[in-house]
Homo-oligomer: A and B are copies of this chain.
Amino acid sequence: MKKILIVEDDEAIRMGLNYYLKQESFEVVESQNAKEAIEKLKEEKEIVLCLLDVNLPDKNGFTLFKEIREFSKVPVIFLTADDVETSIVMGLDMGADDYITKPFKARELTSRIRNVLRRYENSSNNSIIEYGGITLDTRQAKVFKNGKDVMLTALEYKIILNFFLNPKMVFTREKVLANIWDVNEEYVNDNTLTVYIKRIREKIEDDPSNPKIIKTVRRIGYQLGDSND
């Protein structure tokens, strides 16, 4: 029975979350503000994940996140009110594990929670990752579509690897560029990634103009698959 900490001042949302999570057989700890959250985290060592509202009465969620990171590596999922907040979360790129925009469907939430937890558990991960008929084998650095070897360039492989290692996680274009390109590379055009995604889609999607594998998340970036499973 895994214990999850909710940090959320709005009582309605907090109650709702609590209810859903218990149904999904998580144990729930609640806190209404940053101070309380830190207390609980230090107290209850078994907390495996933290749902963190970006807007808190006593403190900015980002600041709280940084403070948490000073003493704990617990996975954190941000709860954002809208796309603007979401963009900030992505833009600041503080290393949150995921985020979810309110209002959200119960199923989406639990699926994201399970994803994050799975990522943490499998850090010493499998070499073979599958999604939507695509198999990626990190031990061969090969990608297969229905068993057939797909030829990818070095960069295409790095990009698709990035998504396959973090399924359902949304990446901004900037984030992917930063992950893949050399650190002190001269600035690489934002559209460049769009073009790479197109090229990858042409190689792996059944219908590249209606992608099922690398999906577009408008205004933000791309993700492997769909949030709602």
Contact = CB atoms under 8 A, between A and B. Distances in A.
Nearest to A182: B149
Interface string A96-109: 00000000000000
Interface string A180-193: 00110000000000
Nearest to A142: B158
Given A124-B124, A124-B126, A125-B127, A140 B161 contact: yes
Interface residues of A, number: 21
B141 A139 contact: no
A158 B142 CA distance: 8
A28 interface: no
Contacts of A124: 124-127
A183 B158 CA distance: 22
A20 interface: no
Number of copies of this chain in the oligomer?
2
26 contacts: A124-B124, A124-B125, A124-B126, A124-B127, A125-B127, A125-B139, A127-B138, A138-B138, A138-B139, A138-B141, A139-B161, A139-B165, A140-B158, A140-B161, A141-B141, A141-B157, A141-B158, A141-B161, A142-B158, A149-B182, A149-B183, A151-B182, A152-B154, A153-B154, A154-B157, A157-B157
